[in-house]
Amino acid sequence: MRRTPRIRRPREPASRPQVVAHRGSSHESAEHTLGAYVRALDEGAEALECDVRLTADGHLVCVHDRDLRRTAATHGVVSTMNLAELDELDFASWKNPWADLDDEAPDRDPEEGRVLTLRRLMEMVADYDRRVELAIETKHPTRYGGLVERRVVETLADLGWDRAGSPARVMSFSLNAVNRVRRMAPDLDVVMLVERAHLWPVLRPVVGDDWIVGPGVRELRAHPGLGRHLVRAGREIHVWTVNTPEDLDLCLDLGVTAVITDRPAYVLGLLDG
């Protein structure tokens, strides 16, 4: 049975969608590193997106993949490693493996290429000189199940971000994960991510009336009826991953409230240029 929807916090009418940096400015910098997020903020991103996983000793780290072969050149699995072990790895060199041979490449601060904890990212957002929002995606399946969402909400609560007006929102492709977050933090914004258009008719009866819906731009393009239905239903829509003028035009036509992009500077230029 669908619960009575809460009243969403008021939003100012937006003339354009919020630009959310997907894993930081990940087209230019190594994803999920401090360097990628600093660059995204310097480029004017209005929100930052991150994926979080739980380490063996209970820390939330910003890593997309289950294992580290792609981003840290090791077969280690995040959930079986302690934070101290992860902190010894280089999460940035894969993006530009020939940087050491480039005499004109700027010096890189090793700190900006280490594993990034959710707490460190939150502190950077909290200390920034303008409002920045944070879209946190929990990854499933995972050996820790609902403990991931519990740790996320607890970490948000440390900064008072688990209540109405929070700059943070929590997203997942897992219905159970989103339900867990809503039970623990009823006033926190949540986003039900939709990977395939054909799943929406199944999700629609069980997704809260006030939940944000997050479809992929490829699905919106391949299945135009999905976008039309969400608009008719009055749903707030956040779309991933929007990197081209054509993708952005589709989002503008639908009136989406946020676009998640690997290229925040480029998309901001298209919107505001």
Band of residue 9 on the pLDDT scale cut at 50, 70, 90: very low
CB 55 within 8 A of CB 86: yes
Sign of CA pseudo-dihedral 183, 184, 189, 191:
negative
Residue 58, pLDDT > 70, answer yes
Amino acid at 165: G
**pLDDT of amino acid 111:** 79
Mean pLDDT of the chain: 93
The residue ranking higher by pLDDT, 54 or 96, is 54
Rounded Cα distance, 19 and 257, in Å: 9
Backbone angles phi, psi at 191, to 5 degrees: -125, 120
Over residues 26-48, mean pLDDT: 97
pLDDT digits (tens, 9 = 90+) for 147-184: 999 999 999 999 999 999 999 999 999 999 999 999 99
**pLDDT of amino acid 102:** 58
* Complete DSSP assignment for 192-222: EEES-GGGHHHHGGGS-TT-EEEEBHHHHHH
pLDDT digits (tens, 9 = 90+) for 72-92: 999 999 999 999 999 999 999
Band of residue 3 on the pLDDT scale cut at 50, 70, 90: very low
Residue 100, pLDDT > 70, answer no
**pLDDT of amino acid 104:** 64
Task: Name 51's bridge partners.
Answer: 137
**pLDDT of amino acid 148:** 98
**pLDDT of amino acid 4:** 39
**pLDDT of amino acid 96:** 78
Report the DSSP pairing between strands 189-194 and 212-215. Answer: parallel
Residue 10, pLDDT > 60, answer no
Q: Any idea of the CA torsion for 112, 93, 46, 246, to the nearest 10 degrees?
A: 170
Residue 108, pLDDT > 90, answer no
pLDDT digits (tens, 9 = 90+) for 246-267: 999 999 999 999 999 999 999 9
Residue 26, pLDDT > 90, answer yes
* Residues recognised as catalytic: 22, 64
101-110 CB contacts, 8 Å cutoff, 24+ apart:
108/35, 109/35
Cis peptide leading into residue 241 (ω within 30°): yes
